[in-house]
């Protein structure tokens, strides 16, 4: 059913610009539709389909409660522009953009799919942009970008999915999100994997119910977050796994129920500048099993039950410059099982129960330059089982020597 006043429609070759398919509508080929105040619903199909180069502009239109997908935009040259419109509460996907099509959404709602995702963009050459949209409460993930597609989000809310908030997966898949929120999703708020890339600016990825805030995994997967909040997530705030890389700048990542930042596996890396990872129930930062980390002007203090910075396993490396790693429940800095760490102009003071610096096992070492480790309950600088600490350039250990145990 097409229930509205169509303000303009064009069709070539004697065909209609708008055709009824089941109870829905479709626009294809050289056809062009401009519609305002339309209700496009289908009991047995999608609400609106734009195919084979068709073009549609919607203003204040609704495609809801279909037993399939609300809006489908497919094929090179096919394009949808929608403003103030709704494609929500559909049985399948609310919106599908694929096979080289493009779409632009402004102040639209794409939420509450009863069995699938809100906005799904797939395929090389497929692009979508959403501004001031609500894409939340979907049964699966709110936003999915796969198989080389590209999506931009600005001032969008993508909260409360039963799965993830944002999913960007596959080589060449990209997403750019600014001033947007993926909060309170059942699994991870944002997941970047399998060679995809993502850029987040001034975004919030807080309060995941059973996952992490930002999960970046897989060789060649990359993400950058600037001035973002990634806090209070259930299993951890940030995970970087399986050869992925992440850059954080001026981010706040506090108060996870698990660990804060976890960087795990050979080839996995994190670079963090001016960021905070504090007050987590487990460790603030772990660098595991051959991963690498570089921290500058970061705060990794006040873990409530574990370490501030832990570097674990042969091949694992961490370098911290001008960082505060103090007031943690266990050791502020712990280097174990053949890992290496370097501290430059860092503070590691006031551990509640253990050491400022603890280096455990042969081939594990820590080099500290112009750094302090004072007022720690279990010793300021401690080595065990052949671990090594080297102090350069007037480190302050509170007048104590390195304790070898």
Sign of the Cα pseudo-torsion (377, 327, 360, 380, in order): negative
> What is the pLDDT at residue 17?
41
> What is the pLDDT at residue 43?
61
> What is the pLDDT at residue 290?
97
Whether the CB-CB separation of 93 and 69 falls below 8 Å is answered with yes
> What is the pLDDT at residue 302?
93
In this structure, what token pair is assigned to residue 312? 């674990």
Return the H-helix or E-strand segment holding 344: strand 340-344
**Which residues does the chain have with pLDDT short of 50?**
1-3, 6-8, 11-23
What are the counts of helices (DSSP H) followed by strands (DSSP E) for the chain?
Answer: 0, 35
Whether the CB-CB separation of 159 and 186 falls below 8 Å is answered with no
Residues sharing a CB contact under 8 Å with residue 99, sequence separation 6 or more, in sequence order: 74, 75, 76, 122, 123, 125, 126
Spatial separation of the C-alpha atoms in residues 223 and 213, rounded to whole Å: 13
In this structure, what token pair is assigned to residue 365? 């070492």
Spatial separation of the C-alpha atoms in residues 126 and 109, rounded to whole Å: 20
> What is the pLDDT at residue 4?
58
Q: What angle do CA 231, 317, 219 make, to 5 degrees?
A: 70
Spatial separation of the C-alpha atoms in residues 264 and 260, rounded to whole Å: 13
Q: What one-character DSSP code corresponds to residue 14?
A: T
Whether the CB-CB separation of 148 and 127 falls below 8 Å is answered with no
Whether the CB-CB separation of 279 and 285 falls below 8 Å is answered with no
- Which pTM does this prediction carry? 0.92
In this structure, what token pair is assigned to residue 383? 């080595």
Q: How far is CA 129 from CA 66, 97, 106, 203, 346, in A?
A: 23, 11, 8, 16, 43
Nearest to 62 by CA among 17, 143, 1: 1
């Amino acid at each position: 059913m097409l229930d509205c006043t169509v303000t303009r429609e064009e069709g070539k070759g004697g065909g209609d610009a708008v055709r009824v398919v089941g109870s829905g509508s479709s626009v294809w080929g050289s056809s062009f539709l401009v519609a305002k105040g339309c209700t496009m619903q289908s009991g047995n199909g999608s609400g609106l389909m734009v195919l084979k180069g068709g073009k549609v502009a919607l203003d204040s239109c609704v495609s809801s409660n279909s037993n399939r997908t609300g809006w489908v935009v497919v094929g090179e040259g096919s394009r949808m522009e929608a403003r103030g419109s709704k494609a929500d509460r559909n049985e399948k996907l609310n919106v599908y953009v694929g096979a080289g099509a493009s779409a632009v959404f402004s102040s639209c709602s794409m939420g509450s799919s009863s069995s699938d995702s809100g906005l799904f963009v797939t395929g090389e050459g497929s692009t979508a942009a959403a501004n001031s949209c609500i894409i939340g409460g979907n049964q699966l993930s709110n936003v999915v970008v796969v198989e080389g597609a590209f999506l931009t989000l600005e001032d969008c809310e993508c909260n409360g999915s039963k799965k993830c908030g944002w999913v960007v997966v596959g080589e060449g898949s990209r997403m750019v999100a600014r001033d947007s929120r993926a909060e309170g999703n059942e699994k991870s708020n944002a997941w970047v994997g399998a060679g995809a890339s993502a850029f987040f600016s001034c975004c919030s990825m807080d309060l995941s119910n059973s996952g992490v805030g930002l999960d970046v995994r897989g060789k060649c997967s990359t993400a950058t977050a600037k001035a973002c909040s990634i806090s209070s997530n259930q299993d951890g705030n940030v995970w970087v796994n399986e050869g992925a890389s992440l850059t954080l700048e001026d981010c706040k990542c506090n108060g996870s129920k698990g660990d804060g930042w976890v960087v795990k596996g050979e080839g996995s890396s994190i670079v963090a500048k001016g960021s905070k990872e504090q007050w987590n129930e487990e460790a603030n930062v772990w660098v595991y099993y051959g991963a690498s980390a570089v921290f500058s002007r970061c705060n990794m203090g006040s873990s409530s039950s574990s370490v501030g910075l832990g570097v674990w396993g042969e091949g694992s490396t961490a370098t911290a410059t001008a960082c505060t790693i103090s007031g943690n429940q266990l050791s502020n800095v712990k280097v174990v099982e053949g890992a290496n760490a370097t501290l430059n102009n860092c503070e590691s003071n006031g551990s509640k129960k253990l050491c400022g610096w603890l280096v455990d096992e042969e081939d594990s070492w820590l080099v500290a330059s112009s750094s302090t480790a004072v007022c720690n309950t279990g010793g300021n600088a401690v080595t065990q089982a052949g671990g090594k600490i080297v102090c350069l350039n007037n480190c302050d250990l509170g007048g104590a020597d390195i304790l070898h145990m």
